[in-house]
């Protein structure tokens, strides 16, 4: 998987992560590492542009949750607790949208996974880059 990074300015600086291809068990940690690198460089608000992601597995959902934890608390859950991350998503859905991580342009197949998992109740989804950046 390739992951591009773009910085956008709105009310706050927004780090746009642009993964391409599949996000699954073979590469989800690459997305987490990319977010960690940006966090170490000062990034605190993340927009995951899913325009070029044609498939996402439960491991991809774990990566998203880990990025939320990183943005909110500056830490990542223990790697062994990946499935606990998925259960945590279910518990956190009722808390509303997360303020530090948002999603952009998921393809229909990916949007379906987000809906089935409840992730779209946890992470706000946008179809316009400017609107997404302005929402932070």
For the chain, list the domains and their CATH numbers. 2-134 (3.30.750.24)
> What's the pLDDT score for residue 95?
65
- The rounded distance, in Å, linking the Cα atoms of 31 and 84 is 18
Percent of the chain with pLDDT over 70: 87
Q: What ranges make up the beta strands (E) of 50-114?
A: 53-56, 101-104
Q: What is the pLDDT of residues 111-128, one digit of tens each?
A: 999 999 889 988 999 999
> What's the pLDDT score for residue 94?
58
β-bridge pairing 13-23 and 2-9: antiparallel
On the question of pLDDT at 83 being above 60, the answer is: no
pLDDT band at 71 (very low <50, low <70, confident <90, very high): very high
Percent of the chain with pLDDT over 90: 75
């Amino acid at each position: 998987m390739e992951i591009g990074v773009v910085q956008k300015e709105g009310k706050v600086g927004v780090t746009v992560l642009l993964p391409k291809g599949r996000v699954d068990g073979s590469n989800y940690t690459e997305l987490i590492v990319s977010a960690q690198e940006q966090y170490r460089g000062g990034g605190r608000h993340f927009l995951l542009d899913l325009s070029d992601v044609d498939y996402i597995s439960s491991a991809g959902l774990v990566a998203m949750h880990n990025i939320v934890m990183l943005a909110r608390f500056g830490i990542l859950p223990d790697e062994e607790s990946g499935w606990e991350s998925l259960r945590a998503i279910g518990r956190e859905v009722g808390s509303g949208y997360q303020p530090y991580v948002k999603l952009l342009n998921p393809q229909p197949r990916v949007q379906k996974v987000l809906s089935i998992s409840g992730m779209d109740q946890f992470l706000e989804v946008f179809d316009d880059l400017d609107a997404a950046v302005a929402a932070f």
